[in-house]
Amino acid sequence: MFIVQKKLSAVLLAVASTFLIPAVSGLTPSAMAAASVAGLPDFTDLVEKTGAAVVNIRTTEKAKVSQGNAASEDEEMQEFFRRFFGAPIPPRQQPAPRGRNKPDADADEEVPRGVGSGFIISADGYVMTNAHVVEGADEVYVTLTDKREFKAKIIGADKRTDVALVKIEGSNLPRLTVGDSNKIRVGEWVIAIGSPFGLDNTVTAGIVSAKARDTGEYLPLIQTDVAVNPGNSGGPLINMRGEVIGINSQIYSRSGGYMGISFAVPMDEAMRVSDQLRASGKVTRGRIGVQIGEVTKDVAESLGLTRAQGALVQRVETGGPAEKGGIEAGDVILKFNGANIERASDLPRMVGSTKPGTRSTITVWRKGAMRDLPLTITELEPEKVAQKTEKKAKVEQVANTLGLIVSDLTAAQIKELKIDGGIVVESAEGSAARAGLRAGDILLRLNNTDIKDARQFNALVAKLDVKKTTLLLVRRGDSSQFVTVKPHAQ
């Protein structure tokens, strides 16, 4: 057997010498390496073409900082560099003491607040990023790949789409070409460039996993498997033609880091927002005054629809455009200005992008027939949240079994929000956070019981069966919806 194998190996070697070696003898080692990975994408030219237009964004805020705190921060930073880079960085220079007998005084200092990413969309310095990157910042600094740093002005930010526009003073700046996010295809290669964990100009690659993924009223997000981590927020999602097709905005994670799923705001949505921000510093949206839900297969069959489509009207606002136009609870909205409503989430996007004052036509399904109803779009008001007052309400400091810390509403807040009662969420964690609840939400009802105050609410929560799901009626902005939360044992 050994002899047969030896002879066969000799024959194969002779064949290779005759046919293969002459064929590649003229190739350089780099060309041979390229040939070995033929068919796989090469991102090098793409990165060179687009990388210069991607920026690092750092934000600061004014805070009272003592020298003792600064020294502690220096020690932590040096320990970080020792662990990951093998050498400490020089300590930060401390200001000279004001007097020998005077203690170190706290002073207003510009302290780091956060780090994110962004990209230049015009040669004169307009930079796009996420709203959450610049939210609450006193100063915004933009750093280019050539290490030039600019102090930026926030033109405007829109929380609903998580899009912000900032401006730096410059000319002939590198910029990205905006692509058509409607033309993306599931499975196509894309790259992300940004500053994950503060590491500038990091490039990651992947494919488009899904389009129009519903995660919010105004965000039909692009889902990818591109590695995105804290610090990538606001950076571009770029296709193989070098066009930016999205703004990296969110990740799905149970650990706080990348777990294989990331989301980007489509550029067609982002550009509509940025155009309004550039023109007026804010985003104006239309509204019709309805609360809607999905049309399930069972509902469609019972109403005589051929398939599950449209938006089911659950509630009509008194005196709103929908009521004035003749829309009723139980109607199914099938079209807006002739455009089909496939899913309930399509309606607020279409209405929201319509200029207030526009005369529009809503097509509804009612009692087995379609009818067209004319109405006039009005302006969507900013989200109303309970405002902080000097007199603080009593707050339970320990989260209950739903993961909520709540406080009472003041009489002024109840009057402003035009409600009869309820409580405000101070913080949400655990089950409540996973259900989408957040600080500022107003809780109106727990299962079938109206909520009067924080004491009553916590008493009710304490009696909940941890094996059963709890239903909360939540007010956010001008709309209310039911949210299911499962208690956890404490």
Instruction: Name residue 256's amino acid.
Output: G
Task: Please indicate if the annotation marks 458 as binding a ligand.
Answer: no
Q: In this structure, what is the dihedral angle of CA atoms 76, 77, 80, 85, given to the nearest 10 degrees?
A: -150
- Looking at the fold, whether 270 and 339 belong to one and the same domain comes out as no
Cβ atoms of residues 257 and 191 within 8 Å: no
Q: What is residue 449's predicted lDDT score, i.e. its pLDDT?
A: 87
Are 113 and 60 contacting, i.e. CB atoms less than 8 angstroms apart?
A: yes
pLDDT of residue 11: 44
Show which of 237, 261, 280 is a domain's final residue: 280
The CA-based dihedral angle spanning residues 113, 117, 122, 124, taken in that order and rounded to the nearest 10 degrees: 40
Inside any domain, residue 100: no
**Residue 454 belongs to what domain range?**
404-485
Final residue before a domain boundary, out of 167, 188, 219: 167
Q: What is the average per-residue pLDDT within 94-113? A: 57
Closest among 367, 374, 365, 355 to 312, alpha carbons compared: 365
132: left (phi over 0), alpha (psi -120 to 50) or beta: alpha
Give pLDDT, residue 477. 74
Q: How far is CA 22 from the centre of its chain?
A: 55
Asked if residue 172 belongs to a domain, the reply is no
Euclidean distance between CA atoms 300 and 294, whole angstroms: 10
Task: Tell me, yes or no, whether 76 and 151 share the same domain.
Answer: yes
- The residue type of 418 is K
CATH number at residue 441: 2.30.42.10
Q: Is 233 a catalytic residue?
A: yes
Query: Which residue in the list 158, 162, 331, 441 is annotated as catalytic?
Result: 162
Q: Give the tens place of pLDDT for each residue, 231-271.
A: 899 999 999 999 999 999 887 766 666 778 899 999 998 99
Q: Is the pLDDT of residue 171 over 80?
A: yes
Neighbours of 257 (CB within 10 A): 13
What b-and-e string marks burial along 381-391, b requiring 16 or more CB atoms within 10 Å of the CB?
eeebbbeeeee
Q: 20 vs 400, which has greater pLDDT?
A: 400
257, 259, 265, 266: CA torsion to nearest 10:
150
Read off the CATH number of the domain in which 237 is found: 2.40.10.10
Which residue is catalytic, options 66, 132, 407, 480? 132
Percent of the chain exceeding pLDDT 70 equals 77
User: Would you place residue 400 in the very low, low, confident or very high pLDDT band (cuts 50, 70, 90)?
Assistant: confident
pLDDT in tens, 53-74: 999 999 998 875 555 554 444 5
221 and 325 assigned to the same domain: no
DSSP bridge pairs for 373? 362
Summarize the confidence of residues 79-85 as an average pLDDT: 42
Looking at 181, 233, 345, 431, which residue is catalytic?
A: 233
More confident residue, 363 or 381: 363
Instruction: Say if residue 242 is in the same domain as residue 295.
Output: no
Report whether pLDDT(50) > 90: yes
pLDDT confidence of residue 396: 43
pLDDT at residue 257, rounded to an integer: 66
Assess whether pLDDT exceeds 60 at residue 33. Answer: no
More confident residue, 202 or 396: 202
pLDDT of 27: 47
The single residue listed with the structure tokens 């779009």 is 377
Q: Are residues 271 and 310 in the same domain?
A: no
Confidence label for 321 from pLDDT (cuts 50, 70 and 90): very high
For the stretch 177-194, pLDDT in tens is 999 998 999 999 999 999
Same domain, 422 and 460: yes
132 is catalytic: yes
CA–CA separation, 386 vs 424, rounded Å? 7
pLDDT for res 126: 96
pLDDT exceeding 90 applies to what percent of the chain?
A: 39
What would the DSSP string read from start to end of 277-324?
Answer: HHHHSS---EE--EEEEE--HHHHHHHT-SSS-SEEEEEE-TTSHHHH
Tell me the DSSP string of 348-400.
HHHHHTSPTT-EEEEEEEETTEEEEEEEE-EEPPPPP-PPP-SSPPPB--S--
List pLDDT tens digits, range 262-295: 999 999 989 999 999 999 988 888 999 998 888 8
3-class DSSP assignment, residue 453? coil
CA distance 38 to 32: 10
Is position 198 within any domain?
yes
- Do residue 348 and residue 375 come from a single domain? yes
Q: Specify if 392 maps to a domain.
A: no
**pLDDT at position 62:** 81
- pLDDT tops 80 at residue 217: no
Phi, psi for 287 (deg, rounded to 5):
-150, 155
| pLDDT value for 340 | 94
Please indicate, yes or no, if residue 33 is contained in any of the structural domains: no
The mean pLDDT value for 404-419 works out to: 85
- Residue 162 annotated in active site: yes
pLDDT of residue 16: 43
Partners of 423 in beta bridges = 408, 443
User: CA separation (Å) from 145 to 70, 230, 231, 271?
Assistant: 28, 19, 16, 24
Asked if residue 395 has pLDDT above 90, the reply is: no
> Which residue bears the tokens 């339970």?
396
Confidence band of 108 (pLDDT split at 50, 70, 90): low
428 and 373 part of one domain: no
Residues 421-475: tens digit of each pLDDT? 899 998 888 888 888 888 888 999 888 788 988 889 988 888 888 788 888 888 8
β-strands 262-266, 369-376 pairing: unpaired
Which residues, in sequence order, are CB contacts of 68 under 8 Å at separation 6+? 104
Number of domains within the chain: 4
Number of continuous H segments (helices) and E segments (strands) in the chain: 12, 27
Write down the pLDDT at residue 92: 45
Strand partners, 361: 374
Same domain, 453 and 359: no
Task: Judge whether 132 is annotated as a binding position.
Answer: yes
Whether residue 386 lies inside any domain: the answer is no
CA quadruple 440, 446, 451, 453: dihedral positive or negative?
negative
Query: What predicted TM-score, i.e. pTM, was given to this entire model?
Result: 0.62
Domain boundary, last residue among 248, 280, 312: 280
Structure tokens at 344: 């309930």
**pLDDT higher than threshold 70 for residue 381:** yes
pLDDT higher than threshold 50 for residue 225 = yes
Rounded CA-CA distance 443/438 in Å is 11
Q: Does a structural domain hold residue 4?
A: no
233 labelled as ligand-binding? Answer: yes
Same structural domain for residues 215 and 248? yes
> Do 301 and 368 belong to one domain?
yes
In 3D, which of 478, 271, 284, 274 has the Cα closest to residue 377?
284
Looking at the fold, whether 416 and 439 belong to one and the same domain comes out as yes
What confidence tens digit (pLDDT) does each residue in 112-139 have?
Answer: 788 899 999 999 999 999 999 998 889 9
pLDDT, position 24? 40
Q: Is residue 373 part of a domain?
A: yes
